[in-house]
Structure 1
Amino acid sequence: MREVTDMALTDPFKDPLGTIRKQPPSVFRRIARWWAVLGSLLVVLAGTMAIAHYGYGVPIYDENTGKVIDPKLAAALIIVLGLGGFLFAVAGTLILRASRTR
């Protein structure tokens, strides 16, 4: 007869933190690694957009109207993408550093 492990008996709806704590550490490291990678890619994308728009004069078009967007909106879009990617990369890096084995 198979023995049931304690992990299978934890109900995620009644005890969500207990379920999270029972996950193997490799799951958290994998999630944190992907956060760091995706955040870094977003920062690179925002930098590329900024260089293309401000350095080479490539306009950013509104998909609905087909017209060039306002320069303030373009700056806000680039800043939001870059800041969001930066925060994601920092969060992933901090989780990786915290979960490092001693």
Structure 2
Amino acid sequence: MGKQMTEMLKGTLEGIVLAILAVRSAYGYEITAWLRDQGFADIAEGTVYALLVRIEQRGFVDVEKVPSEKGPPRKVYSLNTQGRDHLEEFWRTWSFLSERLEQLHRGGN
């Protein structure tokens, strides 16, 4: 992944993870694996885990510890009402920005 892609991804990764959690609950490694399957091969697990800690602290997710077949219990994250509201704001902002960028790309019309 190039530097420009990495920088853009930093600004949108929270919204991407919230969108994943809007579809279904997941634990950190599942989220990382899904992102890699979607072509974000360079995303480090540590980046996703740090983001999950932040969105948990901000109250966007509910966390349930579930037993794991291998090792300690896993933290499974579920998007809650506050997280859904934040995700809706993310999509509104994304729409605004992408429309303006597309206008610039087409020559400013």
TM-score, with normalisation over the residues of structure 2?
0.32
Which is richer in helix? 1
Which is richer in strand? 2
TM-score, with normalisation over the residues of structure 1?
0.34
Larger radius of gyration: 1
